[in-house]
Amino acid sequence: MKTKVFYTILFLCISAQASASKGELLFKEYCWGCHHETSMAFGPSFKQIANMRNSGEIISHIVDPKNTYKQLGYSRSVMPEFKNFSQEELQNLSDFIQSFKD
């Protein structure tokens, strides 16, 4: 029983990590100009985002920032929307962002 729990947890950790590393590639291609991992750029750092938001909030903002910026406390919205990511890619990006949580 304990072994089973151990392997399940191990599997979840490995898959979250694999997902986050796919997210890192997407991040470098599409987000790097405006967001840096730990320092403020044009947009907030991923560390700041990870400490404030859950995965649902992160994914909604990537897909439709014009619809979520007010709810997140911004007075204007300059981030472009990214409508072409698959559900899996959105999850990869969210896992990557959340890997910066303190």
Residues of the shown chain interacting with ligand HEC in the complex, contacts defined by CB under 6 A: 30-31, 33-35, 42-44, 49, 52-53, 58, 61-62, 65, 69, 72, 74, 77-80, 82, 93
C-beta closer to ligand HEC: residue 37 or 44: 44
Q: Residue 72, Cβ neighbours under 10 Å: how many?
A: 16
Q: How far is CA 88 from CA 26, 49, 75, in A?
A: 12, 20, 30
53-56: which pairs have CB atoms within 8 A and are 24 or more residues apart?
Answer: 55/91, 55/94, 55/95, 55/98
Taking the complex as a whole, how short is the minimal distance between the CB of residue 15 and ligand HEC, in angstroms?
Answer: 20
Closer residue to ligand HEC (CB): 7 or 28: 28
CB neighbours of residue 45 within 10 Å: 17
**Between 4 and 83, whose beta carbon lies closer to ligand HEC?**
83
Cβ of residue 35: shortest distance to ligand HEC, in angstroms? Answer: 5
Give the shortest CB-38-to-ligand HEC separation in angstroms: 14
